[in-house]
Amino acid sequence: MPIDRLARRTRHDWNTGPLAITAETGNRIFIAAVNALAEHEGIQPGLSLADARTLYPGLAVHKADPAADAAFLKYLARWCRQFTPVVVLNSPDGVWLDVTGCARLFRGEANLMAAIDARIAELGVEARLGLADTAGAAWALAHYGTGGTIAPPGKSREYIKDLPVAALRIDAKANATLKRLGLDRIASLLPLPSAAIARRFGAASLTRLRQALGSEPEPLDPLPFRPAFTARMGFPEPIARSDDVKAALEILTARLCERLEREKFGCRRLAFTIHRVDGSTQAITAGTSEAVSRPEHLTFLIEEHLDLLDAGFGIEKVELRMPVVEPRTAVALRLTDAAEPVALPALIDRLGNRIGFDNVLRFAPADTHIPERAFSASAAAWMSAAPNAWPDLPRPVRLLEHPQPLDAMTPETFSLHGRSHQIHHRQGPERIAPEWWWDDPAWRSGPRDYWRIADDDGRLLWVYRTANAPPKPGVSWYLHGVFA
């Protein structure tokens, strides 16, 4: 099942209500993935969105984001290196782990599988596991087995023979042909001659069968292993002065930033740790909103928290780690156009490390013309540095959550909360129609005609009247926003 970025960030919605991820092919919108609650309502992947809403009108829907899925799958693959150094991407929805020789570290394969299952559940990801001595058999057990099945060495044939032929990762055409001939299980292919399988169902089908059984090798391309970005410094005599700690921090940061520049990476998370003479440690961690390789910026993120460290009886060693690095981008945003502008990413980093990165938001335009839904707010650190351009439409700075009805409205005056105001200027109308695919109670009255009006207090207001309202002054007029 695809792992959608929005579904991950709204884990509460994913677990508490029927939710589906949609994809689009031509003019058809279909269901690409569902959670367990939606599946309970009879909604399955491949169903059209219209049919899904017929089964459950209140279905929550999010659009699929394949690029985000691929990025998260790569992150998940790297996360899996805590179990084995050899990890292979199996797009679009899987990861292979070569755990040869690793099971003994977890006291057996069963304990290893349980550890993987428990830790991946903490990420909010629902996973199906399978273990076998070939990649093809492990894939078959994970996708079509009961989940968590372990096939002993040399027993893959016995464990996968009762699975459907689709478990061999064959193409849809070959799968349909096999089913039509009644060869719907892997066991039905085992007695057939290899030449017959290749001739009738394609050479690729024979290759997949042999790879699953281990009679033909399957080359895999593991993720490249990059050495950790870590620098350490020991002292002949313990230190305790904050100036000495700061000087050591600057040296380590400069050393790692040289490597970042050389390899064209930037730091996204760093941790500074002091090792005291009594064997205890203390650490300061910080994050960045973009890939950074400037030593002065990274040093500052740690320096402003150095007073939290207690040297105790002395510090014998310091360590600086950059556990998360990413390729650098050339995008640089500025907060102002002044002579000495403030770098926006640096400001986000300072605020994020103080109040939490999830509390620093950036607004981006949404693909809709309905004012209430025309923007989205996301954590600035995880949002693209160059979001889509805002549409060139006059919109108020402040949008009221609930439009306020005007007591009266004429071409020259309007009344709000019992007070009459003169209209000095008016511009419009701009007609906005509701989106028929959203059943929004606020827009059931139909299209709206919006006007911008300037009153005698110098305010520029955004008011509207429903287009099908009676053409009488003061009827069905609402204040929806304030420009200034």
CB neighbour list of residue 453: distance below 8 Å, 6 or more residues apart? 414, 423, 425, 426, 427, 460, 461, 463
Q: How far apart are CA 288 and CA 267, in angstroms?
A: 7
The whole-number pLDDT of residue 8 equals 38
Question: Regarding beta strands 19-25 and 60-63, do their DSSP bridges make them parallel or antiparallel, or are they unpaired?
Answer: parallel
The whole-number pLDDT of residue 387 equals 53
The whole-number pLDDT of residue 335 equals 45
Q: What's this model's pTM, rounded to 2 decimal places? A: 0.51
CB neighbour list of residue 146: distance below 8 Å, 6 or more residues apart? none
Residue 438 has pLDDT above 50, yes or no: yes
Closest to 405 measured CA to CA, from 302, 456, 475: 475
> What domains appear along the chain, each with residue ranges and CATH number?
5-64 (3.40.1170.60), 229-327 (3.30.1490.100), 398-482 (no CATH)
Residue 147 has pLDDT above 80, yes or no: no
The whole-number pLDDT of residue 241 equals 92
Do 56 and 18 contact (CB within 8 A), yes or no?
yes
The whole-number pLDDT of residue 383 equals 62
Residue where the block lists tokens 């559940």: 121
Evaluate the CA torsion angle 300, 302, 308, 314 in order and state its sign.
Answer: negative
Tens of pLDDT, residues 39-50? 888 998 889 998
End-to-end CA distance of the chain: 47
Tens of pLDDT, residues 192-250? 999 999 999 999 999 999 999 999 999 888 888 777 799 999 999 999 999 999 999 99
Q: How far apart are CA 229 and CA 323, in angstroms?
A: 7
Tens of pLDDT, residues 328-381? 754 444 444 444 444 666 777 777 777 777 777 777 777 788 888 787 777 776
Q: How far apart are CA 305 and CA 321, in angstroms?
A: 16
Average pLDDT value for the chain = 83
CA 151, 217, 120, 22: dihedral to nearest 10 degrees? -110
